[in-house]
Amino acid sequence: MPAIRPLLPVLSIPLACLFIAGCSKAPGDGFPAAQAAGAATARKTDDAAAGESGTVALSPENARIEFIGTHVKGEPNPRRGVFQKFSGTAKVDEAAKSLKAVSVEIQTDSLSTSIEKLDNHLKNEDFFDVREHPTARFESTSIRQAEDKTGEYVVTGNLSLLAATKEISFPAKISFDDGGLKLTGGLTIDRTEFGMERLQDSVHKEVEINVRIGQTTAADP
Amino acid sequence: MSTELAFEILVYGALVPAAVAIGALWIARRVLPPTSSSRHAAALAFAGGFCAGYALLPEWAPWSPSRHWHWLPYLAAAAAVTGPIAVAAGVSRPERWLLCLLSAIVAAWLLVPTWASLQPPRTTWVPLLAGYLFLLAALLDDLPDRVPGPMLRGVLFVVAATAAAVIADRVSISQARVAGLAAGALGGIAVGSGRRGNGVQLRGLAPAFAIVVGGGAFAGCIDPPKPLYGLLLAPAVPLALWVCAVGPLRRLGAKAAVVQAIAVAIALAGALALVYGDGAEAS
């Protein structure tokens, strides 16, 4: 059917449209880099890990960020994971022995549960979507002492995870001793509020996050 | 897996694409002239089934593309247009290949994500994927005229279903649901063609199969931190038929069907062995 030959140039139209559309909006555009996580505790400011002027550098060597998810059906069978790569700072008032601010940036592809297959699943777009959102971030906005509870504080800040940033608050025990500043805190987030909405019939939307600073923090789960 | 999710996968992800494909085949045979129907029917049925299933996926599969694989339904629709025209009478082999190459380049450009962590980088993946999709489409293009219809239809379905199952097991249920749409549509084509359907009815389907099944496998391949390169072999399994029907083993005569089946089985086993070469613990 020679008559088909003149049609060939026409074929370039839909292809060209797709190509142009792809160029104008490259795959992955429109998805702000994800950030998130957090909590913190500072270590003693004269510690080798600590920075100057009351700033403590946070890393997996002196802090631990852990998450726990549970299954919906049957036994909860909690799965515990940690982030093996993150960095941040804790600002402390040396004289008052108080924590002023804390911020942490997590490399989400460093999550580890010690189960390779589960790690891969948690990293894909069903959950942390680490390819599109390689970082998560927490930045405190206030740290105030809990009423009538010595040593207990309420840490409030912005948690950026996937494409969402939400204000969260969590209780934390903060203390200073010879080892420096220590913090232990935890909270439960609703992962769907951050856009982690898939597989709610398999994995509860509530995810527990525990944070520890200033203690032995080997990054194994 | 919940009952609701299983229902969605079975009905929306398999039965609906199959039913739409069967319906499209039926309509194409009755509306289009025979010469035109043989080129358009399968490609239209495949794209129609895939897009209908895609429309029923949850909100994470939008029509406004924000991820690389969101382009798959558009590429399926485009291939349903270009594929049949490429195999029309009067179109020379170079012209056909040029069209396949153009389609493959566009598909690769859209399907390779812009992730900073992508390894090898996008600049390497785009030509690699374009070459892969082009070879897949160009070599599959010869098969409908040389392989019995039931054999070819069955192999295409089994390959797509296997790729989807592997993606579900090793990558992501969500991506597997997208890949499964292609298997559903190909299953519908296999059923809708019936016993009397010959391979010629699949002419024009090769580019759509290559881009959608090959592209879906690529999306699954690159998703894990350690790419599953074996997944890329799955859509290429039908090329075992090419070796038997067009390539070096084409003079087998009556034994051809047996050899073709064995070749496909070996190729599929090889692809699976590569994917599962290093085991993973259950989650």
pLDDT, tens digit, for every residue of A95-130? 778 889 999 999 999 999 998 888 988 998 889 999
- Give the pLDDT band (50/70/90) at residue A195: confident
Query: What pLDDT score does B167 carry?
Result: 93
- Is A115 part of the contact surface with chain B (CB cutoff 8 Å)? yes
**What ipTM, to 2 d.p.?**
0.72
Query: What pLDDT score does B254 carry?
Result: 58
Query: What pLDDT score does A125 carry?
Result: 87
Helix B122-140, helix B93-111: angle, nearest 10:
140
Residue A16 or B151, more confident: B151
Contact B89, A4 (CB under 8 A): yes
Query: What pLDDT score does B37 carry?
Result: 82
H-helix or E-strand spanning residue B262: helix B256-275
Helix B72-86, helix B34-55: angle, nearest 10:
180
Give tens-digit pLDDT for B36-48: 888 899 999 999 9
Query: What pLDDT score does A28 carry?
Result: 35
* pTM for the predicted model, two decimal places: 0.80
> Phi and psi of B171, rounded to 5°?
-125, -75
pLDDT (mean) for A188-201: 88
CA-angle at B103, arms to B47 and B148, nearest 5°: 55
Closest-CA residue of A relative to B87 is A4
Q: Which two tokens stand for residue B120?
A: 């090898």
Of A10-14, A204-208, B6-10, B255-259, the one with minimum mean pLDDT is: A10-14
Instruction: Return the exposure string of B3-33: e unless at least 16 CB atoms fall within 10 Å of the residue's CB, then b.
Output: eeeeeebeebbbebbbbbbbbbbeebbeebe
pLDDT (mean) for B109-115: 95
pLDDT (mean) for B117-123: 92
Task: Kindly calculate the radius of gyration of chain B based on its CA atoms and give it in whole angstroms.
Answer: 18
Cross-chain residue pair A120–B224, CB shorter than 8 Å: yes
- One-letter identity of residue A216: T
How far is residue B202's CA from residue B143's CA, in Å, rounded to a whole number?
9
Cross-chain residue pair A14–B78, CB shorter than 8 Å: yes
Give tens-digit pLDDT for A159-183: 999 989 999 999 999 888 776 888 9
Nearest to A64 by CA among A112, A97, A99, A129: A112
- Is A118 part of the contact surface with chain B (CB cutoff 8 Å)? yes
Query: Residue B91 gets which letter from DSSP?
Result: -
Q: How far is CA A8 from CA A4, A71, A141, B93, B208, in A?
A: 7, 54, 61, 13, 17
Interface of B with A in 63-122 (CB under 8 A): 65-68, 70-71, 74-75, 77-78, 81-82, 85, 88-91, 95, 99, 102-103, 106, 109-118
Contact A117, A108 (CB under 8 A): no
Nearest to B83 by CA among B204, B211, B214: B204
Nearest to B209 by CA among B156, B149, B154: B156
Kindly list the strands in the beta sheet with A79-83, ordered across the sheet, starting from the edge strand earlier in the chain: A55-58, A86-93, A98-107, A135-145, A152-161, A164-177, A180-190, A206-213, A63-69, A79-83, A111-112
Q: Count of CB contacts below 8 A, A vs B?
A: 135
How far is residue B218's CA from residue B241's CA, in Å, rounded to a whole number?
22
Residue A21 or B276, more confident: B276
**Residue carrying the six token digits 């694409």:** B17
pLDDT (mean) for B242-259: 74
Task: Collect all residues of chain A within an 8 Å Cβ-Cβ radius of residue B118.
Answer: 131
How far is residue B77's CA from residue A110's CA, in Å, rounded to a whole number?
38
Nearest to A115 among B85, B112, B281 (CB): B281
Query: What pLDDT score does A215 carry?
Result: 60
As to burial, measured by CB atoms within 10 angstroms (0-12 exposed, 13-18 middle, 19+ buried), residue A96 is exposed
Closest-CA residue of A relative to B227 is A120
Cross-chain residue pair A117–B171, CB shorter than 8 Å: no
Cross-chain residue pair A202–B1, CB shorter than 8 Å: yes
> Phi and psi of B92, rounded to 5°?
-75, 165
Interface of A with B in 136-195 (CB under 8 A): none
Residue B196 or A208, more confident: A208
Query: What pLDDT score does B200 carry?
Result: 54
How far is residue B68's CA from residue A96's CA, in Å, rounded to a whole number?
52
